[in-house]
A and B are shown apart, each in its own frame.
Chain A
Amino acid sequence: DAKTTQPPSMDCAEGRAANLPCNHSTISGNEYVYWYRQIHSQGPQYIIHGLKNNETNEMASLIITEDRKSSTLILPHATLRDTAVYYCIVRVASIPYSGGGADGLTFGKGTHLIIQP
């Protein structure tokens, strides 16, 4: 899987849009961009994923640049409950994943998003 780079922490005011950047300059053509988050002491939660087009669901929007080397996760109206560590993960689309025999997700350090009241 391609490596990703995220800022270690970010602040955002409650009610504003939170924009979380991710760089994945070595992404290859068959790799998707996935976003997960982990609220303290809970299991990770899937948010959204995309290949090259922008995607939106009930939780967030994902904007992927045309060259696919970076992306931004947008939480349109952040609430205090959105305080969490957000992980950007790039991984192949094929099943089963053939990289090193492991089909799991590789979680980096992520971005600790703190929503301020």
Chain B
Amino acid sequence: NAGVTQTPKFQVLKTGQSMTLQCAQDMNHNSMYWYRQDPGMGLRLIYYSASEGTTDKGEVPNGYNVSRLNKREFSLRLESAAPSQTSVYFCASSEGVKGRNEQYFGPGTRLTVT
């Protein structure tokens, strides 16, 4: 039981390049989330998926797109990377049922945009 896995662990992009961050969970959770964490700051929600087939914007969605590929996988795409998107990206999942929505996080992807 690996929990939440993320790939890649590290990535360096040039401004304007695109990439997709991958996330998968093996806990049969309904809900999945993407956060970003800038140095010395708390996490901010980018997008979330309450259940398979649905996605919704969070606090900071601009510059990102997401795909809930199936119940296990939730990807985050940067179409045209900007230096302001340099951050650590965390994926999380939760059961998504009343009183049981604690979230479990992956190890993060450290992205640098030059």
State the A residues within 8 Å of B (CB).
32, 34, 41-46, 49, 51, 87, 93-96, 101-110
Residues in B lying within 8 Å of A, measured CB to CB: 4, 31, 33, 35, 42-43, 45, 48, 50, 56-59, 90, 92, 96-99, 101-108
**Are B50 and A104 within 8 A (Cβ)?**
no
With A103-B50, A105-B43 as contacts: A95 and B96 at CB distance below 8 Å: yes
Q: Please tell me if the beta carbons of B59 and A46 are within 8 angstroms of each other in the complex.
A: no
A107 in contact with B42 (CB, 8 Å): yes
A42 contacts across to B, CB distance below 8 A? 107-108
Interface of A is mostly: loop
Q: Is the CB of A43 within 8 A of B107?
A: yes
The answer to whether A102 touches B59 (Cβ under 8 A) is yes
Q: Is the CB of A105 within 8 A of B103?
A: yes
**Nearest Cβ in chain A — how far from B6, in angstroms?**
8
The 4 closest A-B pairs by CB, nearest first: A104-B45, A43-B105, A107-B42, A46-B102
Distance of A77 Cα from B38 Cα, bound (Å): 32
Known: A95-B97, A103-B48. 4 other contacts (CB 8 A): A43-B90, A101-B57, A104-B35, A104-B48
